């Protein structure tokens, strides 16, 4: 839990970045207005979390789920945000699943390389180059070269 009320505030850098992305170019905000928006955002997050926690407790759960947040937003009369939030949550889940699949593929590839038979030398890519002795090399193209001493 937070020791001081300031610990519950969202990071100023995050709030500033969001504000800059939301405003048109050339619009400047005072330090006080950024602080006010930051405080309002922090209060909103805390209130939404508290409402979502109430819904989780009604379901006899200690873990907040996305459905609790949707219910909290509806209870707070912010139901307009729910469709966009659901879309963003689905995008996040797809990204996480993609990252997990990619991680599993890398892990399997790494295990496959570790389990491949080796002759004690470092892993070198296999090639189809055939080494020939000097006697097997075709030198007929070079027969016309004459070296004078």
Measure Cα distances from 37 to 20, 44, 56, 84, 146 in Å.
Answer: 12, 10, 28, 22, 89
Residue 73's pLDDT is 95
Average per-residue pLDDT for the chain = 81
Q: Are 89 and 66 in contact (CB under 8 A)?
A: yes
**Residue percentage of the chain with pLDDT more than 70:** 74
Distance CA 120, CA 1 (A): 55
Q: Is the pLDDT of residue 4 over 80?
A: no
Q: Are 47 and 76 in contact (CB under 8 A)?
A: yes
Q: Is the pLDDT of residue 143 over 70?
A: no
Q: What does the pLDDT average to over 6-31?
A: 87
What's CA 18's distance to the chain center, in Å? 19
Q: What does the pLDDT average to over 17-22?
A: 90
Higher confidence at residue 84 or residue 130? 84
Residue 144's pLDDT is 47
- Each residue's pLDDT tens digit, 44-101: 999 999 999 999 999 999 999 999 999 999 999 999 999 999 999 999 999 999 998 8
């Amino acid at each position: 839990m937070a020791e001081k009320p300031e610990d519950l505030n969202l990071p100023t850098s995050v709030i500033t970045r969001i504000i800059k992305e939301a405003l048109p170019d050339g619009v400047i905000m005072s330090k006080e207005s950024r602080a006010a928006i930051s405080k309002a955002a922090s209060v909103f997050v805390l209130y939404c979390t508290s409402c979502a926690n109430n819904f989780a407790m009604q379901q006899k759960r200690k873990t907040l789920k996305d459905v609790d947040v949707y219910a909290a937003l509806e209870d707070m009369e912010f139901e307009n945000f729910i469709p966009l939030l659901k879309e963003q949550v689905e995008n996040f889940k797809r990204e996480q699943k993609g990252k997990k699949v990619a991680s599993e593929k890398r892990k399997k590839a790494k295990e496959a390389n570790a389990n491949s038979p080796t002759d004690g030398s470092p892993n070198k890519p296999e090639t189809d180059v055939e080494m020939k002795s000097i006697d097997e090399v075709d030198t007929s193209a070079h027969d016309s070269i004459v070296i004078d001493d």
